[in-house]
Chains A and B, each alone.
Chain A
Amino acid sequence: MRITVTVDGTTYTDEVEPRLLLVHYLRDRLGKVGTVVGCDTSNCGACTVHLNGHSVKSCSVLAVQADGGDVLTVEGLSRDGKLHPIQEAFRDNHALQCGFCTPGMIMQTLDLLAEEPDPDDETVRHGLEGNLCRCTGYQNIVRAVQDAAQRLRGGATSSGDAVIKDAAKAETAGGVR
């Protein structure tokens, strides 16, 4: 089947098998390997992208379902070489370790903050329930999402600074904190 899809601002027209998953179309046909596959039961969320402005798990969408659609992946998030505030917040709050879940986490965060610009801890945790991380224990991810929310609302301070200040305090307090 012939499909036309806009991905990260570029429009592509391709012949695809009807069964081809969107995530494989992105990775194998378009080279958008920033989006990854973490499971085969749509539980882990590593493959999360945006389709027409909403987050979807691209392992449970067929490429043909994206025909005529607009897809945004993690690779299209930074503009003019400048990181998106969510990306900055993930880095500044040490919200990633191996980084494999990170593209999905970031794209789900984008969706979450569009719906709830000032989420509390519980709202963030529920909003990310469909995205699994094995490295971080989620605490820094929650912190990053709230920090990103503040950045997107135009707030000045960030908890990323707070993390570093905490750490500096530990040093001056002779190691006990």
Chain B
Amino acid sequence: MTATAQPEIGRARLRKEDEHLITGRTRWTDNLVLPGMQHLAILRSPVAHACITGIDTTAARSMPGVVAIFTGADLAAEQGSLPCAWPITEDMKAPPAPSLAVDTVNFAGEAVAVVVARGAYEAHDALEKIDVDYDELPIVLDLAGAAADGADLVHPDLGTNISATWTFDSAEAGTGGDVEQAIREAEVLVQRTFRQQRLIPAFMEPRSVVVDPTAAQITVWSATQIPHILRLMLAMTLDIPEHKLRVIAPDVGGGFGGKLQVTPEEVIALLVARRLGKPVKYTESRSESMLAAHHGRDQIQKLTLAARRDGTVTGLKVELLADMGAYLRLVSPGIPILGAFMFNGIYKFGSYHFTCTNVFTNKVPTDAYRGAGRPEATFAVERMMDELAAELSLDPLELRARNWITHEEFPFDTVAGLTYDSGNYEAATARARELFDYDGLRREQAERRERKDPVQLGIGVSTFTEMCGLAPSRVLGSLAYGAVVTGASPHGQGHETAWSQIVADQLGVPFDDVEVLHGDTQTSPRGMDTYGSRSLAVGGIAVVKAAEKVIAKARPFAAHMMECAEDDLEFTGGQFRVTGTEKAVGLADVALAVFAAHDLPEGVEPNLDSEATYDPDNFSFPHGTHLCAAEVDTETGQVRIRSYVCVDDIGHVVNPLIVEGQVHGGLAQGIAQALYEEAVHDESGTLLSGSFAEYLMPSAVDLPSFTTGRTETPATGNPLGVKGVGEAGTIASTPAVVNAVLDAVRQFGVHDIEMPCSPMRVWHAIHTAQGGAR
């Protein structure tokens, strides 16, 4: 009987998604071939800032297979401006953002012309024959310089490079004291400036878009995280009624925030397809992806931490500069602001002030990248806590314990104005300490220092919390036999598996019988897609709510079938049972009776379809403690992660297998920021790290095995008690690794190393601090 079956939630179910992915029976956007389909290639600006004074496409038009060429001037009347959906202040400056540059280019890589040809090779051949005259303008690349008075301007019409300044002050908000007073009265002050380098999301599947304009409804297939938002934004940008657009995200090969975008390429493909009346395909190369898809992070963080000598932190002041790049993309301005609520981390700081200035430069725009604002904040506070611990000669875990919110203190109103509903930092930290052998490693560290071992050991600590579960979600649950339609849009996470587990428990149907449909605005007309570790805590709960409605709708039918009162029915294990009897009817039989509809109760709608939207009252707050042991070769500057332990508390877990995979992948990306990756531009604004040969995305040899653990303090804000896991590993691992590197070399007088901590930078830092060779 199903009622006694093991609950699905919590089971390490193998993923439903895998079978087609391991056999190559995949549906990537680039696989699509439509009748009459033409291929697009995009000419991109080689210069970072210039007026376009002329484009000659004559030679290119006569190339074999070329069907048409469009420039910005050709599309200017209809292309609109790419949307920015997050104005952070009323007076935010947002320059028009054309998909195809019209008269100026503002970053190297900006689209200038598009070739339409019979085949992809022919389209690319023709790019070389297009002749563009550029009249170069002053280039603005340095973030701090761009924000200074008298700087050259990216957008002269705006009169400034500053887009907006956003401020939070705990004294003004009534959430804490006055930070300036805390600084004046501080017994200890720690001041640091950190650089969050520019990163490239580097999802494995390059972006691709196919547009079919040949029916009354235009269909757009795109390798996107956000089919629903994309449909709305394309409709608004191009003045097309939303119902005339269908957007499909088929198999999508990773996103990490990088596919949370309305891209120039999507707009261009749609406009060209509409002009030609033929399907078109655009698939970017990896080099184009690195050059022109949005980048992540890129901030300068100026921090002042005020404390007493016993380690109590009395105030934190944060002054950020955030590089927007040349334009504001979908949520660019909001990314650093998402961090504003997290700089206080898991701590009870007495006062807090945050100010962020968003700045334009002649670089590709920045936008969401795994963690989005929260890794930056966590890095800053966790680096500062380690610096303070060093200043006070306190163990870094002890310093944290003196400041963190204890588990009895939840719910807790933070100095940044959020209410943390639950958590147990003591338990997670104790577990991490034990798994890591913290005391043993500290002993080894002391021994190595004692004997002046050329390979020094560093121990890095990072705690974290984050806010997950942004914005309302929508979902449709239809028919009792579990066809679930979700408005979340997975791209590697495993929603089909996890949602099946949830529905199986809710409706008492077998896991294998649940079909999860997603990523097509036709089958799931409403949704807010997948980002910010929100899918389970929002979309997953909507599925629960829809299932509850299905049961409620089925109840009168079941009562009618068994000739009893509705109140006499209990629903367990997929069956309505008449209380105190053996009389029962399964949900599937109810569904069949409703479908057959020949004997229905009075006044009820003959279907069980249900739809639910879930808008949580509060965010959820996963947290965790991460410990990293790093060996630093002081003679070469090489860093090797010896062991890495994390204990994350993400509340209740639907599928531990998926959770562990998310944590591993997150750790890899956070470690990559600490040690390997950086988008580097030369003085002309050319991207030097423009391929996987130069952008050091880690391979299997560059990463260690991780030891992961969990504590479970359920979220109180949703019925499943879940929190979100997609970004956890990324958020905590960067500071844990950098703290470990510094812990190894602080003895030489090194107090900071800019990320990524490459061998060269580590070696230089040691030698500079010791007054040695530069």
Contacts and interface: CB of A to CB of B under 8 A. Distances in A.
Interface of A: 17, 19-20, 24, 27-28, 32-41, 43-44, 46, 73-75, 77-78, 83, 87, 90-92, 94, 96-103, 106, 121, 124-126, 128-142, 163-164, 166-168, 170-171, 174-177
Given A34-B24, A44-B286, A136-B661, 15 more contacts: A20-B121, A33-B31, A35-B24, A36-B26, A37-B30, A37-B206, A41-B286, A74-B22, A94-B660, A102-B22, A130-B699, A136-B665, A138-B699, A139-B705, A167-B656
Interface stretch (B371-379, B491-499, B553-561, B680-688): B491-499
Contacts of A121: 705
B711 to A, nearest CB: 5
A96 B21 contact: yes
Interface in B8-22: 10-12, 14-15, 17-19, 21-22
Contacts of B254: 97-98, 100, 134-135
The 10 A-B residue pairs whose C-beta atoms are closest, nearest first, are A34-B24, A98-B492, A99-B21, A100-B253, A175-B712, A167-B12, A137-B668, A137-B664, A43-B692, A39-B286
A39 B662 CA distance: 24
A158 to B, nearest CB: 12
Interface string B243-261: 0000000011110100000
A10 B11 CA distance: 42
Contacts of B252: 98
Given A97-B493, A97-B494, A106 B22 contact: yes
A33 B251 CA distance: 13
B701 interface: yes
Contacts of A168: 11-12
A176 B668 CA distance: 23
B480 interface: no
Interface in B605-625: none
17 contacts: A24-B121, A33-B24, A33-B26, A38-B204, A40-B691, A46-B204, A74-B24, A94-B15, A97-B665, A99-B18, A137-B729, A140-B660, A140-B664, A166-B12, A167-B11, A167-B657, A175-B652
Contact of A99 (B22, B666, B667): B22
Contacts of A106: 22
Interface in B685-715: 691-693, 697, 699-701, 703, 705-706, 709-712
B761 interface: no
B165 interface: no
Given A142-B705, A170-B710, A91 B22 contact: yes
B658 interface: yes
A24 to B, nearest CB: 8
Given A41-B691, A97-B493, A135-B204, A175 B697 contact: no
Interface string B426-440: 010001000000000
Contact of B14 (A44, A92, A99, A124): A92
A138 B22 CA distance: 16
A39 B700 contact: no
B452 interface: no
A134 to B, nearest CB: 5
Nearest to A99: B21
A142 B14 contact: no
A27 B28 CA distance: 12
Contact of A136 (B22, B287, B493, B664): B664
B285 interface: yes
Nearest to B651: A175
A174 B213 CA distance: 55
Given A98-B492, A136-B665, A78 B14 contact: no
A27 B706 CA distance: 37
Contact of A91 (B18, B205, B427, B660): B18
B156 to A, nearest CB: 36
A100 B205 contact: yes
The winner among A32, A99, A125, A128 for most chain B CB atoms within 10 A is A99
A138 B23 contact: no
Contacts of B692: 39, 41, 43-44, 132
B706 A137 contact: yes
A135 B710 contact: no
A129 B661 contact: no
Nearest to A104: B204
A99 B710 contact: no
Contacts of B451: none
B117 to A, nearest CB: 14
A90 B15 CA distance: 11
B707 to A, nearest CB: 10
Interface in B133-171: none
Contact of B285 (A35, A40, A78, A129): A40
A133 B672 CA distance: 12
A75 B23 contact: yes
B70 interface: no
B202 interface: yes
Interface string B474-496: 00000000000000000111100
A133 B204 contact: yes
A13 to B, nearest CB: 20
B709 A177 contact: yes
Nearest to B290: A39
Nearest to B660: A94
Given A97-B665, A125-B701, A176-B710, A134 B657 contact: no
Contact of B23 (A37, A78, A94): A78
Contacts of B17: 99
B184 interface: no
Given A43-B692, A99-B21, A175 B711 contact: yes
Contacts of A33: 24, 26, 28, 30-31
Contacts of A83: 22-23
Interface string B24-43: 11101011000000000000
A128 B700 CA distance: 7
A101 B700 contact: no
A87 B28 contact: no
A156 B4 CA distance: 31
A134 B22 contact: no
A134 B491 CA distance: 12
B412 interface: no
A123 to B, nearest CB: 11
B287 A40 contact: yes
B404 interface: no
A73 B23 CA distance: 9
A153 B462 CA distance: 42
B657 A164 contact: yes
Contact of B203 (A27, A134, A166): A134
Contacts of A73: 24
Contacts of A20: 121
Contacts of B491: 98
B204 A101 contact: yes
Given A125-B701, A137-B667, A100 B28 contact: yes
Nearest to B204: A100
The winner among A19, A43, A131 for most chain B CB atoms within 10 A is A43
Contact of A97 (B492, B653, B706): B492
A20 B729 CA distance: 41
A83 B21 CA distance: 12
A141 B664 CA distance: 11
A17 B28 contact: no
A99 B703 contact: no
